[in-house]
Amino acid sequence: MGVDERIKAIEDEIRNTKRHKGTEHHIGLLLAKLAKLRRDRTHQAAKKSAMSGGGFDIRKEGDATVVMVGFPSVGKSTLINRLTNAKSKIAAYEFTTLECIPGIMEYGGASIQVLDLPGIIAGAQDGKGRGREILSVARKADLILILLDSSSPWHHGIIIKELQDVGIRLGQKPPRISIKKGIKGGMRIHSAVRLTHLTPQAVIPILNEYGIHNGDITFGDDYRAEDLIDVLEGNRVYTRALVVVNKVDKTGGIPPGFPHGAIGISAESGEGIEELRKAIFHGLEFMRIYTKPRTGEIKWGEPMIMRNGSTVEDFCKRIPKGFLKGFRYALVWGKSAKFQGQRVGLDHVLQDGDVIYVVKK
């Protein structure tokens, strides 16, 4: 059996097994095997697409990158042309776009890179269409736009599964599970709450699958086997997503069957586009960081726009004059400072509205 068939067989077995505490052990092992097979397949795909090159190797630019994922002909190219300076080919037939087309959208002081891609179809991860290349671009996104056609609500579930299967976790936080490896004495399981899905009989074999036999594992919440495997695999990406329903000009609004919170637009008429721009900006969670010049006043009108969670190091990297090389320490005023003018190092996490002054050697 090839990798694809083995994956399919395990998926079927998981689907056909009723989940409860008694079967969690079995399911856990199946999930671990599945994760490994998918990892192998992703590696193969990455090698292949690196060799073929072929228009998917786009460099990240601007303050953040938004990737559009959707079935063929839902209007991705029409939308990128509306949002950005890009000129992506539009046509009434499917698979018009054959490679990754970048554009830049300026909004709220941020330069946001938007990527248009070929249409995705069910089975993308198995290599259908340019599926694997598309999904590997999606992994690099700071925000994913799931673009749907107002006549096809069922596309949503298919796209979510394709993204999930290549390790993209949408709107999820990384599981708070910490593992400290030991040398002997077996595994000790600790938990902040009562575990209702996982028993030690399920946890230990999964850890063993990953070569961990001794040490401590601590669960910060009532997690499932999938969450544990995500942590063990370690290559998951936690990305936010917006669901966008295009062509509402044809349906007069978002029809029933689409997820709650979806944004209705018409890329053709321009309806809903301003709202979408705003939602993209907010979805990316930017913050404004101000620099204190050696002399003179802080320029409150010209913040540096950075992603939430950025550190002093990220800040220094963004300044062209080699701040990182000569860095000694920084002084910080604002929400992230314990007291005003606090002296901090490169790993200090900044917050919206902070003022920073970098002291060099």
Nearer to Mg ion, 77 or 239 (CB): 77
Question: Which residues ranging from 117 to 146 are in contact with ligand GTP (CB under 6 A)?
Answer: 118-119
**CA distance linking residue 275 with residue 61, whole number of Å:** 23
Identity of the amino acid at 219: F
135 or 203: CB nearest Mg ion: 135
Which DSSP string do the residues of 212-262 spell out, in sequence order?
Answer: --SEEEEESS---HHHHHHHHH---EEEEEEEEEE-HHHHTSPPTTSPTTP
Applying CB under 6 A, among 49, 65, 78, 336 the residue interacting with ligand GTP is: 78
Burial class (CB in 10 A: 0-12, 13-18, 19+), 14: middle
Q: Which stretch binds ligand GTP (CB under 6 A): 54-62, 90-98, 100-108, 318-326?
A: 90-98
Vertex 67 angle, CA 66 and 73, to 5°: 135
Bridge partners, 263 (sequence order)? 244
Q: What is the amino acid identity at position 173? A: K
Which of 25, 38, 76, 156 touches ligand GTP by CB under 6 A?
Answer: 76
Distance CA 326, CA 313 (A): 12
Cβ proximity to ligand GTP: between 249 and 285 the closer is 249
Rounded Cα gap, residues 104 and 95, in angstroms: 23
Q: Does 49 bind ligand GTP (CB under 6 A)?
A: no
Q: Which does 267 bind (CB under 5 to 8 A by kind): Mg ion, ligand GTP, none?
A: ligand GTP
> 262 touches which of ligand GTP, Mg ion, none (CB within 5 to 8 A by kind)?
none
Which of residues 96, 152, 214, 251 is near Mg ion by CB under 5 A? 96
Which listed residue (247, 288, 292, 348) binds ligand GTP by CB under 6 A? Answer: 247
Q: Is 110 in contact with 130 (CB distance < 8 Å)?
A: no
Residue from 28, 62, 75, 129 binding ligand GTP (CB under 6 A):
75
Interface residues toward ligand GTP, by CB under 6 A: 70, 72-78, 90-92, 94-97, 118-119, 246-247, 249-250, 266-268
Interface residues toward Mg ion, by CB under 5 A: 76-77, 96-97
